[in-house]
């Protein structure tokens, strides 16, 4: 395929992807939003003069350079009316890069533009996408998509020079956030099976990304104190074994009977004794392995093993920052960003199967039809309806009506802006020589919260009550 045709295909796929997102979330175009930590943590810390450790590293300790850089630029050089637009623009550029990788790279499991078109349409319609669409705070989940493509790609078809571009994508995804790091075990297995130099280089790069995040988390927690609510082994076991299985079981109920039944099934499964869940998950993966191996025919088993390793382990990285019990993410629609990677990996596995189905390939359309029906008929509150209009919030602040913070999504979250808010905050956490975020962390510790350089929704509630 010539360069002109590849770039033409990129343009077509970008229009397809953007058009479906616009149809699914029209309010994000007409009403830009600030979402969760991109406002409450990164932008707020940039406004309060936080240093690199407060701006570029998430309050759970992992690297999140994209959010920090965006917030710092916005707080320094951009008018408040355009802060939400700036964050959404950066988030969209990440999604453009993902579509660009799919369009321009040679991928054995997406051999033609038709395959790539169906795959990109499915990505735009994938469930649990509301809080990861045009939000820089959750772009690290989307940034892992090129690495998922590498997992299902036959590296033996590529020259060694391909590694440089792939390593760059992996490195950038690692700077954006930690989910990509959890793909290291799957890539390591793939490299051991394929023995391709490109796969070995990919695995090494992922290992370096994983080490960088672990070092960052260790250093951050050594300084600020605290740690996860549960043992890390328990988190990983639940994430790798139980959570994907329960999500898949819930998906079967979803297809058969709708959201209410699927929600009930997921809650019932999450209430079973842990040993039952581990045994059930192991049996489920074993049966799935046999079925997929039969479908994929020759030379299929190594690739199926990689797929299962990815499906089993991909959720662990997204739980690095999840402070609650893993079962909280199970009810259908509630998992949000924590289910996105599972959905992306499963879509990639399905695409790999259909790429080897002989013509006619009409079956390619089936996953997109299902996702389309689900995407546009799910309850609107599950998809993320319009929240506070950021431009109206700024106008109200300029009129003096938001002394204790401008409202953002989700409900109850705010961003404090201006010297008046800073003075109000210092009245709460005290005035002193220590940086204000150090005083915020101290106030949190004194009030039964983890010692972190980040404001919390309850702090804004307190500021409003005392105002």
pLDDT category of residue 308 using cuts at 50, 70 and 90: low
Tokens (6 digits) for 437: 């975020």
Tokens (6 digits) for 383: 């998809």
**In this structure, are 235 and 298 located in the same domain?**
yes
**In this structure, are 418 and 346 located in the same domain?**
no
**In this structure, are 347 and 426 located in the same domain?**
no
Report the number of distinct structural domains present in the chain: 2
What is the distance, to the nearest Å, from the Cα of residue 191 to the centroid of all Cα atoms in its chain?
Answer: 25
Residue finishing a domain among 354, 371, 391? 354
**Secondary structure string (H, E, C) spanning the chain:** CCHHHHHHHHHHHHHHHHHHHHHHCCHHHHCCCCECHHHHHHHHHHHCCCCHHHHCECCCCCECHHHHHHHHHHHHHCCHHHHHHHHHHHHHHHHHHHHHHHHHCCCCCCCCHHHHHHHHHHHHHCCCCHHHCCCHHHHHHHHCHHHHHHHHCCHHHCCCCHHHHHHHHHHHHHHHCCHHHHHHHHHHHHHHHHCCHHHHHHHHHHHHHHHHHHHHHHHHHHHHCCCCCCCHHHHHHHHHHHHHHHHHHHHHHHHHHCHHHHHHHHHHHHCCCHHHHHHHHHHHHHHHHHHHHHHHCCCCHHHHHHHHHHHHHHHHHHCCCCCCCHHHHCCCCCCCHHHHHHHHHHHHHHHHHHCCCCCCCHHHHHHHHHHHHHHHHCCHHHHCCCCCCHHHHHHHHHCCCCCCCEEEECCCEEECCHHHHHHHHHHHHCCCCCCHHHHHHHHHHHCCCCCCCCCCHHHHHHHHHHC
Question: Domain for residue 64, yes or no?
Answer: no
Q: What percent of the chain is modeled with pLDDT above 70? A: 65
Condensed to tens digits (0 to 9), the pLDDT of residues 105-149 reads: 999 888 889 889 988 988 887 765 567 888 898 899 899 899 988
> What local confidence, expressed as pLDDT, does residue 206 receive?
93
Q: Of residues 370 and 162, which shows the higher confidence score?
A: 162
Question: Domain for residue 157, yes or no?
Answer: no
Question: Domain for residue 158, yes or no?
Answer: no
Beta bridge partners of 63: 57
Average pLDDT of the chain to the nearest whole number: 76
CA distance 253 to 387: 30
Averaged pLDDT for residues 318-343: 48
**In this structure, are 253 and 348 located in the same domain?**
yes
Residue 260 has pLDDT above 90, yes or no: no
Verdict on whether the full-model pTM lies above 0.85? no
**Residue 423, domain extent:** 401-466
Question: Domain for residue 181, yes or no?
Answer: no
Residue finishing a domain among 295, 328, 354? 354
Torsion sign (Cα): 314, 289, 122, 131: negative
Question: Domain for residue 441, yes or no?
Answer: yes
**In this structure, are 246 and 344 located in the same domain?**
yes
pLDDT category of residue 451 using cuts at 50, 70 and 90: confident
CA distance 106 to 149: 10
Averaged pLDDT for residues 190-199: 84
Q: Of residues 175 and 291, which shows the higher confidence score?
A: 175
Residue finishing a domain among 325, 354, 383? 354
**In this structure, are 345 and 405 located in the same domain?**
no
> What local confidence, expressed as pLDDT, does residue 315 receive?
41
Question: Domain for residue 449, yes or no?
Answer: yes
What is the phi/psi pair of residue 408, to 5°? Answer: -135, 180
Question: Domain for residue 415, yes or no?
Answer: yes
Residue 228 has pLDDT above 50, yes or no: no
Question: Domain for residue 270, yes or no?
Answer: yes
CA distance 282 to 375: 30
Residue 407 has pLDDT above 80, yes or no: yes
């Amino acid at each position: 395929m010539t360069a002109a045709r590849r770039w033409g295909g990129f343009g077509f796929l970008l229009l397809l992807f953007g058009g479906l997102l616009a149809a699914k979330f029209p309010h994000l175009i007409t009403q830009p939003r600030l979402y969760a930590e991109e406002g409450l943590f990164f932008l707020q810390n940039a406004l309060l003069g936080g240093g690199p450790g407060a701006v570029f590293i998430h309050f759970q300790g992992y690297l999140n350079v994209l959010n920090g850089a965006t917030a710092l630029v916005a707080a320094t050089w951009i008018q408040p009316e355009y802060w939400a637009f700036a964050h959404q623009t950066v988030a969209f550029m990440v999604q453009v890069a993902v579509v660009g990788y799919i369009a321009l790279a040679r991928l054995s499991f997406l051999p033609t533009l038709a395959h790539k078109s169906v795959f990109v349409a499915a990505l735009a319609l994938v469930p649990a996408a509301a809080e990861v669409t045009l939000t820089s705070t959750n772009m690290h989940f989307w940034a892992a998509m090129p690495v998922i493509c590498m997992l299902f790609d036959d590296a033996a078809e590529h020259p060694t020079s391909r590694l440089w571009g792939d390593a760059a994508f992996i490195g950038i995804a690692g700077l954006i956030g930690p989910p990509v790091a959890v793909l290291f075990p799957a890539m390591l297995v793939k490299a051991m099976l394929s023995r391709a130099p490109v796969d070995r280089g990919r695995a090494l790069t992922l290992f370096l990304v994983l080490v960088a995040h672990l070092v960052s988390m260790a250093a951050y927690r050594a300084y600020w104190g605290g740690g996860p609510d549960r043992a890390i082994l328990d988190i990983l076991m639940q994430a790798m074994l139980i959570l994907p299985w329960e999500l898949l079981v819930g998906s079967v109920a979803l297809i058969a009977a709708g959201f209410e039944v699927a929600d009930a099934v997921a809650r019932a499964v999450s209430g079973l004794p842990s040993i039952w869940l581990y045994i059930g998950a192991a049996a489920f993966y074993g049966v799935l392995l046999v079925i997929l191996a039969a479908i994929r025919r020759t030379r299929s088993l190594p690739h199926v093993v990689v797929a299962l390793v990815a499906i089993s382990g991909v959720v662990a990285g997204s739980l690095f920052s999840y402070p609650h019990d893993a079962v909280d993410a199970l009810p259908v629609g509630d998992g949000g960003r924590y289910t996105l990677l599972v959905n992306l990996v499963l879509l990639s596995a399905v695409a790999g199967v259909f790429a080897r189905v002989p013509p006619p390939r009409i079956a390619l359309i089936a996953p997109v039809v299902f996702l389309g029906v689900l995407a546009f008929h799910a309850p609107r509150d599950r998809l993320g309806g319009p929240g506070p209009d950021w431009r109206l919030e700024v106008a109200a602040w300029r009129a003096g009506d938001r002394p204790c913070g401008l409202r953002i999504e989700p409900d109850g979250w705010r961003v404090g802006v201006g010297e008046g808010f800073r003075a109000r905050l210092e009245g709460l956490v005290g005035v002193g020589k220590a940086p204000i975020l150090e005083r915020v962390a101290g106030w949190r510790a004194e009030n039964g919260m983890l010692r972190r350089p980040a404001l919390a929704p309850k702090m804004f509630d307190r500021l409003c009550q005392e105002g």
